[in-house]
């Protein structure tokens, strides 16, 4: 059973030693893939048609579907964050699906999901301050009465932790289960029997957790910038 | 008894106990699914929005089960007590 995060090489920066892990390398590979895809789309769409056909049609349909999703989850103000969440959506989706081609998905490391969860946390604060004003947003922590301030802060702080552990736990549990099945099976059976497991854990759970992460983040942001 | 084997055995037992919260999680998820089926049976035209809301609610209800899983995995593979014991034993 091999599902630990392997260290690849040691880097020393300003006297601090840290390891470049498999997670970081896989994240770089996925980043290269996504950036390459973005550049490809940009050059393919150099001449925009007014009436979209073919490739442009597909891309526009994707963007419009995602904007509709953002609007339905977080209301009118959420459109400001649609770009960031489309990036996050694609990154998590490609990370989860990369388990299909034998990568260790970067989202099966709490480091990655914690970064995404805390990004949502800071975006929530920013959204509240931008769309409701600093004073009115900070005042919402003291509602209904000032005694509730610690509870409200705890509630706000528990969100990134639950968001990140949900994604991390789901992907890691699939990874561990599939690794266990591969270890238990004799060599001849390893090619056919695990296919349904890959379809469920990598394709279905991966896509579902991506949608759940984005939907929950967007509804937190929508709640932060909603006027009461 | 060898103290190290006691620490390992206790870690595995507590991992099993941590996973018991899957019972409650499953009951909760079953209730969500039953309510969604009732809603769809009553108003079949709302099936699309009920389904997407159900999936998100299932994800939220799953959280406690996932916490138990993370605790069990930490106890099994990254147990701080075993590291502490090895450090103390030298």
pLDDT digits (tens, 9 = 90+) for A91-125: 999 999 998 888 889 998 888 999 999 999 999 99
pLDDT of A191: 81
- Cβ B70–A216 below 8 Å, yes or no? no
pLDDT of A228: 59
> Left (φ > 0), alpha (ψ -120 to 50) or beta: where does A109 sit?
beta
Residue with the bigger pLDDT between A93 and B83: it is: A93
* Cα distance between residue A137 and residue A142, in whole Å: 10
ipTM of the complex: 0.76
pLDDT of A1: 57
pLDDT of B15: 92
- Cβ B55–A169 below 8 Å, yes or no? no
Q: Could you tell me if A203 lies within 8 Å of chain B, comparing CB atoms?
A: no
| Residues linked to residue A19 through DSSP beta bridges, in sequence order | A10
- A/B interface, count of CB pairs below 8 Å: 36
Q: Could you tell me if A7 lies within 8 Å of chain B, comparing CB atoms?
A: no
Q: Is A193 helix (H, G, I), strand (E, B) or coil?
A: coil
- Cβ B59–A4 below 8 Å, yes or no? no
- Smallest CA–CA separation between A91 and chain B, in Å? 19
> Left (φ > 0), alpha (ψ -120 to 50) or beta: where does B57 sit?
alpha
Q: Could you tell me if B48 lies within 8 Å of chain A, comparing CB atoms?
A: no
> What number of CA atoms fall less than 13 Å from residue A141's CA on the CB side?
16
Q: Could you tell me if B69 lies within 8 Å of chain A, comparing CB atoms?
A: yes
Distances in Å between the Cα of A62 and the Cα atoms of A7, A12, A68, A214 are: 37, 42, 10, 15
Of B63, B73, B77, the CB nearest to A162: B63
pLDDT digits (tens, 9 = 90+) for B6-49: 888 888 999 999 999 999 999 999 999 999 999 999 999 988 88
Q: Could you tell me if A52 lies within 8 Å of chain B, comparing CB atoms?
A: no
Report residue A10 as tokens: 């040691």
The position carrying tokens 């890691």 is: A172
Which residues of chain A have a CB within 8 Å of the CB of B72? none
- Smallest CA–CA separation between A155 and chain B, in Å? 15
Which residues of chain B have a CB within 8 Å of the CB of A166? 59, 62-63, 66
* Mean pLDDT over each residue of chain A, to the nearest integer: 87
pLDDT digits (tens, 9 = 90+) for A39-91: 998 888 887 777 777 788 888 888 899 998 898 888 888 888 889 999 999 99
The model's pTM:
0.86
- Beta-carbon contacts of A81 under 8 Å, excluding residues fewer than 6 positions away, are A70, A74, A123, A127, A218, A221
* Cα distance between residue A228 and residue A132, in whole Å: 10
What is the distance of C-alpha A182 from the center of its chain?
A: 27
| Residues linked to residue A7 through DSSP beta bridges, in sequence order | A21
What is the distance of C-alpha A16 from the center of its chain?
A: 29
Q: Could you tell me if A169 lies within 8 Å of chain B, comparing CB atoms?
A: yes
The position carrying tokens 């970064």 is: A115
> What number of CA atoms fall less than 13 Å from residue B41's CA on the CB side?
6
């Amino acid at each position: 059973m091999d599902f630990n995060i392997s260290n690849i090489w040691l880097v020393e920066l300003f006297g601090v030693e840290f390891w470049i892990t498999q997670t970081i390398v896989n994240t770089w590979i996925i980043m290269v893939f996504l950036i390459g895809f973005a550049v490809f789309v940009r050059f393919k769409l150099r001449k925009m048609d007014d009436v979209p056909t073919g490739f442009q049609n597909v891309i526009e349909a994707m963007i419009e579907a995602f904007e509709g999703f953002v609007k339905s989850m977080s209301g009118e103000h959420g459109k400001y964050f649609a770009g960031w969440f489309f990036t996050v959506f694609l990154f998590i989706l490609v990370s989860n699906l990369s388990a299909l081609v034998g990568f260790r998905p970067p989202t099966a490391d709490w480091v990655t999901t914690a970064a995404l969860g805390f990004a949502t946390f800071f975006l929530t604060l920013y959204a509240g301050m931008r769309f409701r004003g600093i004073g009115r947003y900070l005042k919402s922590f003291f509602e209904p009465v000032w005694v509730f301030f610690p509870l409200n802060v705890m509630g706000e702080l528990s969100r990134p932790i639950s968001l990140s552990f949900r994604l991390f736990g789901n992907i890691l549990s699939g990874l561990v289960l599939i690794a266990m099945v591969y270890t238990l099976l004799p060599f001849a059976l390893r090619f056919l029997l695990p296919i349904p497991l890959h379809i469920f854990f990598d394709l279905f759970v991966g896509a579902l957790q991506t949608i759940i992460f984005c939907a929950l983040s967007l509804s937190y942001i929508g709640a932060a910038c909603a006027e009461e | 008894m060898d103290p190290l084997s006691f620490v390992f055995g206790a870690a595995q037992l507590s991992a099993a106990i941590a996973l018991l919260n899957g019972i409650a999680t499953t009951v909760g998820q079953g209730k969500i699914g039953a309510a969604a089926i009732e809603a769809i049976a009553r108003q079949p035209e709302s099936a699309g929005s009920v389904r997407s809301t159900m999936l998100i609610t299932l994800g939220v209800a799953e959280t406690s089960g996932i916490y138990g899983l993370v605790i069990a995995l930490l106890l099994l593979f990254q147990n701080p007590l075993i590291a502490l014991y090895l450090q103390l034993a030298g």
